[in-house]
Amino acid sequence: MHRLSAFNQLVVFCVILWSLDEYWYYAIFTLVMLCLFECTVALQRLKSLQRLRESLRPPYYVLAYRQKKWIPLLTDSLVAGDLVSVTTRALPSKFGPSEDSHQKIPCDMLVLKGSAVVNEAMLTGESVPQVKEAIDSNQYPVGQSLDIDDPTFRRHIIFGGTFCVDQSAKQSQFLTESSMVNDVLAPPDQGCIW
């Protein structure tokens, strides 16, 4: 709900006072102008919200590891803890509709296997793509929390809304679809596990 600003509340108070005196026609004119101004502000906010809603990307399919198999899921149904395979290649047609949106990162993720080159210009303004590497479980103790502001951890984190320029799944780890990597089947699209 839209509230009147302090200035507009003062104007309404002045309109009430003027209407008690012989300046009632100035009061009516001022009140009409105030109503028109408030209506234009409200319409401008509605238009801005509509433009913002139109800029949202529709959800698209990615491969996620659930129930011990890779299944296509819409990006709006991903939950914390899902393993996601992201690749620069289009998703095979047997896993759902194919789009060009597969290069966009759907949410903030931690690179578990593989490496990627990510364009973060949307967030940082830098034109140079950043190299993101898989986190090494031997380097960090179990239970250590990752600090997003720490530069040593930033190279393992992919931010939502950025674009994957190139990726490598380290073929030695993903030889076949049935090979296991840390108890997780290799993704059929040979993408990085995030």
* 52-106 pLDDT, tens digit each: 888 777 888 888 888 888 888 888 888 888 888 877 766 655 555 555 544 788 8
Mean of pLDDT over the chain: 76
Nearest to 31 by CA among 7, 3, 5, 8: 8
Distance between CA atoms of residues 111 and 156, nearest Å:
5
What's the average model confidence in pLDDT over 28-36?
89
The answer to whether 154 touches 28, Cβ cutoff 8 Å, is no
Burial of 166 (0-12, 13-18, 19+ CB in 10 A): middle
Q: Collect all residues with Cβ–Cβ distance below 8 Å to 28 and sequence separation of at least 6.
A: 15, 19
Which two three-digit tokens encode residue 68? Answer: 């011990």
pLDDT for the residue numbered 57: 74
Higher-confidence residue of 55 and 133: namely 133
Distance between CA atoms of residues 159 and 107, nearest Å:
6
Q: What is each CA distance from 134 to 46, 110, 129, 157, in whole angstroms?
A: 43, 8, 16, 9
pLDDT for the residue numbered 194: 64
Confidence bin at 47 (pLDDT 50/70/90) = very high
User: pTM of the predicted model, to two decimals?
Assistant: 0.58
Confidence bin at 1 (pLDDT 50/70/90) = low
What's the average model confidence in pLDDT over 168-186?
50
Q: Collect all residues with Cβ–Cβ distance below 8 Å to 51 and sequence separation of at least 6.
A: none
Q: Is the model's pLDDT at 177 over the cut of 70?
A: no
Match 């002045």 to its residue by tokens: 14
Higher-confidence residue of 31 and 2: namely 31
Q: Collect all residues with Cβ–Cβ distance below 8 Å to 157 and sequence separation of at least 6.
A: 108, 109, 110, 111, 132, 146, 148
Distance between CA atoms of residues 61 and 86, nearest Å:
10
Confidence bin at 121 (pLDDT 50/70/90) = confident
